Chains A and B, each alone.
Chain A
Amino acid sequence: MSGPSDYQPSHPALKWIERRLPIMGFVHSSFVAYPTPRNLNYWWTFGAILSFMLGAQILTGVILAMHYTPNADLAFRSVELIVRDVNYGWLLRNMHAAGASMFFFAVYVHMFRGLYYGSYKEPREVLWILGVIIYLLMMATGFMGYVLPWGQMSFWGATVITNLFSAIPYVGDSIVTLLWGGYSVGNPTLNRFFSLHYLLPFLIAGVVALHVWALHVAGQGNPAGVDVKSEKDTVPFTPHATIKDLFGVSVFLLLFSWFIFYMPNYLGDADNYIPANPGVTPQHIVPEWYYLPFYAILRSIPNKLAGVIAMFSAIIVLVFLPWLDTAKTRSCKYRPLAKQFFWLFVITCILLGYLGAQPPEGVYVILGRILTVCYFAYFLIVMPLLSRIETPRPLPNSIADDVLAKSSVMASGAKAAVSAVVALVVAGGLWAGSAQSARAAEETTPPSQTWSFAGPFGKYDRGALQRGLKVYKEVCSNCHALSYIAFRNVGDAGGPGYSEAQVKALAAEYKVKDGPNDQGEMFERPGRPADYFPSPFPNEQAARAANGGAAPPDLSLIAKSRSYERGFPWFIFDLFTQFQEQGPNYIVGILTGFEDKPPAGVTIPDGSYYNKYFPGHAIKMPKPLSDGQVTFDDGSPATVQQYAHDVATFLMWAAEPHMEARKKLGMQVFIFLIIFAGLMYFTKKKVWADAH
C-alpha cells in the first residue's frame, strides 16, 4: 500500500492475471519492496511469529476438528483417540495445545514491545486498538478451546468464567443462560463453544489483516522512535526483514518444539486428564497461565461485580493508552523515567500471574490488592504524569544516524536492562514455584523413582511393561478398568512388544458382549484384537456398591492425571531437566505407602485404610499388593516394590503409548531446527552486510 512498486510481471499469463486482479503487485509492494526501518531489533520479529502461530493453530485445529466429537459424553474419549489412534494425532494435539501457550507468549512479548517503544502513539492509535481487539478475541478463543477436551479443569473453568457474567445487573442471568444453552454448563455449552472456537480464529485473521493494513499506512515504528525521513533510513522488506523474520521464527520454533516433544504437559493441569464430573469440584481451579494475572485482579476485589469490572478494565485500559501517555517521545530508550516504570510494570504483571495461581488466602490476598493498584496506577497515574514532567534524552537525527551510533554506545545500557529483567523474571518464576509449595504443604510427596522412560532418550523397558501387564491382569483388573487400551495396543511399536499371535491369544482369553444377533439378543464371544480391555463393572454405581461407595478409577490415564507440586525452585529446574514423572512416582508411592496403623493422633473413617501418599491419607482401597502374589517368568523378584515399579511403567505406557515416537521425532526436529536456524542466521548476516 505504501511501498514504491511499479511492479509488472514479464510473463504474458501473469500479465493477464495482474491486469484483472493486481495481487502480485499488491504482494510486491506490501512485502517485497516495502520500505522497513533499518534499525529494527529482534523484538520486531514477533509480528511474523504471531502470524505464523495463527496459521499453525488454524491448520492443526482444522485437522483436529476432523476427528473430535463435540458431545459431552464423547468429547474426552475422542481427544484420547486422536492422541492414540490418529496418525500423528499425538503430534497434532501437542502442537495445538502447546501452540496456544506459545501464541500467548508471543503476543505478550509483542505487546510489551509496543509499550516500551511507544508503538501505540500517533499515528498508530488505530493499529494499537486493533491489536487489543485481536488480544480479546484470542482470550475468548483460548478459553473456549480449553473447554473442548471436557476434562475436570475444562468443565470447572467454564463454570467459573461463565458464572462471572451473572454479576452484570439485570441482564446477567439471561446472558449466562444464553452462554450455557441450559441450566448449567453441559452439552449445549460444549457444542456452542466448539462452533465459536472454530469461528473466532477466522475473525482474528480478518482483524489481523486490518492490523497489518493499518501498520502499512503508518509504516513500522522503530527502536529510536523517530520517523522515517529518507530512503537512507529504510531497506526493502524482502530480503532484509524476511530473512530476519525467518531466523526469528526458527528460534521460536526451537522453544515451541521443546514443549511439543519433551514437556507436552508442563503448562497444563493434571486434573484435565480426569473426565469432567459436575458433582466433584477440583481442589484448585486454576486457569491456564496466560489468564493468571487477570484472575488475580478478579479475585483481589471482594465484591463480585466490582471484581468482574476490574478484570475487564485491566484489558480495556489498554485501548486508552494513546491518550493516557501523551509524551512526544515514543521510545523508552530516550525516556529514563518511563523506562524504569516500564520494568516495574513488567514485574507487576509477572507477580500478578504468580498470585493468580495461589489460593486466595492470607498474604496472597494483600499482595494481590497492592499489585492490582500498581497495575492500574501505571496506566492511569504514572503515564499521564510522566507525559507532563519527564525530560527525555535527545533523539538521534534520523534512523540512519541511529544505526551508525548503535555499534558504539547502546550495548551496555541495553544489556543492563536485559539482565535486570532476566533476573526479575527468574525471581518471579521462583516465587511462582514457592506458591505451589503452599498447596503441597499438607501432603507428603512420594519419593522420586528411577524410570527408564525419563529424559530425552527415555524408552519403555519392555520387560517392565510385560510384567506390569501381568500385574494389572492378575491384581488390578479385578476392580479397575483400562478402557482406553485395546488388546491390539500391546502389539504396537513402543509398547510391551507382543507378537500378533500373542495379541490374538490375549484377546481370546476374554469374553466380550456383542450383538444384537438376528434374534435381537445380546451374546458373548471371545475377544478380538480390536476390542478394548473390559471393565470389571457394568457401570459406576455397581463399581461404587462393590467398593464401599468409592468407585475405583479407570487406570488408562492415571499416570498423567495424578501429580504433586514440586515447589520452588524445583519446578523451574524441571522444565530444563524434563522431569515429568510425578504420576508414576505417585503410583509407586500409593502402592507401597500403606501402613497397618495410622500414626498416633490421626484418625481415619471406618472402611478406609491409611496411606502415606494418598491426599488426606484415608484411601478406600485396601493394600492390593503383597510379596509373592504374582510370579514372573523372567525371574524378576516377586516383591511389592517390583510389582509397583513394573505396573507404574505399564500404566505410564497406557497413558502415553507414543512416547518413544514422540521423543525420537523430537530429536530429529531439534537437530533440523538447530541447523536451519544456523543457516538462517548466516544468511541474515550476509543479506544485512550490505545494509550496514
Chain B
Amino acid sequence: MNPDAATIAAGAPIEVDLSPIAQGQDIKVFWRGKPIYIMNRTKKQIEEARAVPVDSLRDPQSDESRVKTGHDNWLVVIGICTHLGCIPIAYEGNYDGFFCPCHGSQYDSSGRIRQGPAPLNLPVPPYQFVSDTKIQIG
C-alpha cells in the first residue's frame, strides 16, 4: 500500500529555469504533488533574514543554511504550511516572507516560522544548481 512504482517515477527530479524570475519575484512549481516556491530575493530580504538572532527562532536555522552558497538570493522552499498543510501566500505578512491564510502563521524571507501556530520552518526540498540559471529539484 506504499506508493507504487508509477507514483515514485512521477516523483523523479525536475529541472527549473531561473532566468525568467526577476529580483523580487517568485514562481510556484509542482514536484511530487507539492507546491514549491522559488523566490529571487532582494538584498533587503536577505539582510532582514540574516539580521535575526538564530536562537530567538522557534525552529532555529540560519538563513545561510537554507540557501546555496554563492546563490544567496535564491530561496527554494516547499510551500506547505507546517501547521495543517495550507499553502502560504508569498510576499505577505509582517516579515516580508509568507503568510498562511488558514490560521495566520507568518514566515520570514527565509521561510522560517516567526509567528502563529506552525511548529517548523518551511522545508527546503533537496535541490542543486546545475548552472547559474538552472536548478534541479529532487
Chain A residues with CB under 8 Å of chain B are 156, 159-160, 163-164, 177-178, 180-186, 188, 192, 278-281, 283-285, 299, 302-304, 359-361
Contact = CB atoms under 8 A, between A and B. Distances in A.
B70 interface: no
Interface of B: 1-4, 7, 11, 28, 30, 32-35, 83-87, 101-104, 117, 119
B2 A177 contact: yes
By Cβ-Cβ distance, the 8 closest A-B pairs, closest first, are A184-B33, A183-B32, A281-B86, A163-B85, A182-B7, A159-B85, A160-B84, A281-B87
B117 A181 contact: no
Contacts of B117: 302, 304, 360
11 contacts: A156-B86, A160-B84, A163-B84, A181-B2, A182-B3, A182-B32, A183-B11, A278-B35, A281-B86, A299-B103, A360-B103
A181 B3 contact: yes
B35 A279 contact: yes
Contact of B28 (A159, A164, A279): A279
Given A183-B7, A188-B4, A281-B102, A304 B85 contact: no
Nearest to B11: A183
A164 B30 CA distance: 22
A164 B104 CA distance: 18
Contacts of B101: 281, 283
A488 to B, nearest CB: 37
Given A182-B33, A183-B34, A283-B101, A188 B84 contact: no
Contacts of A183: 3, 7, 11, 32-34
Contacts of A192: 1
A163 B80 CA distance: 11
Given A279-B28, A279-B35, A304-B117, 12 more contacts: A160-B84, A160-B85, A164-B84, A181-B2, A181-B4, A182-B33, A184-B32, A186-B7, A278-B30, A281-B101, A285-B102, A304-B83
Contact of B34 (A178, A184, A285, A360): A184
A299 B34 CA distance: 24
A164 B119 CA distance: 13
A177 B84 contact: no
Given A184-B34, A186-B33, A302-B117, A279 B87 contact: yes
Contacts of A186: 7, 33
A280 B30 CA distance: 12
Nearest to A162: B85
A281 B105 CA distance: 14
Nearest to B79: A279
Contacts, number: 69
A360 B117 CA distance: 10
B26 to A, nearest CB: 14
A182 B104 CA distance: 28
Listed residue (A163, A281, A303) with the most chain B CB atoms within 10 angstroms of its CB? A281
Contacts of B2: 177-178, 181
Contacts of B104: 360-361
A279 B30 contact: yes
Contact of A188 (B3, B32, B34): B3
A177 B3 contact: yes
A302 B118 CA distance: 9
A17 B124 CA distance: 70
Given A183-B7, A361-B104, A285 B33 contact: no
Contacts of B3: 177, 180-183, 188
A188 B10 CA distance: 13
B20 to A, nearest CB: 14
Contacts of A178: 1-2
Contacts of A279: 28, 30, 35, 87
Interface centre among A177, A180, A183, A186 (most CB of B within 10 A): A183
Nearest to A280: B87
A188 B35 contact: no
A181 B1 contact: yes
Nearest to B32: A183
Contacts of A285: 84, 86, 102
Contacts of B87: 279-281
A181 B83 CA distance: 21
A371 to B, nearest CB: 18
Contacts of A360: 103-104, 117
A181 B10 CA distance: 13
Nearest to A160: B84
A364 to B, nearest CB: 11
Given A183-B33, A360-B103, A188 B7 contact: yes
A181 B6 CA distance: 11
Nearest to B119: A304
A278 B4 CA distance: 21
Most buried by A among B3, B30, B104: B3
A188 B2 CA distance: 10
Nearest to A298: B84
Contacts of B4: 181, 188
A361 B117 CA distance: 11
Contacts of A181: 1-4, 7
Contacts of B83: 304
Contacts of A185: 33
Contacts of B1: 178, 181, 192
Contacts of A164: 84
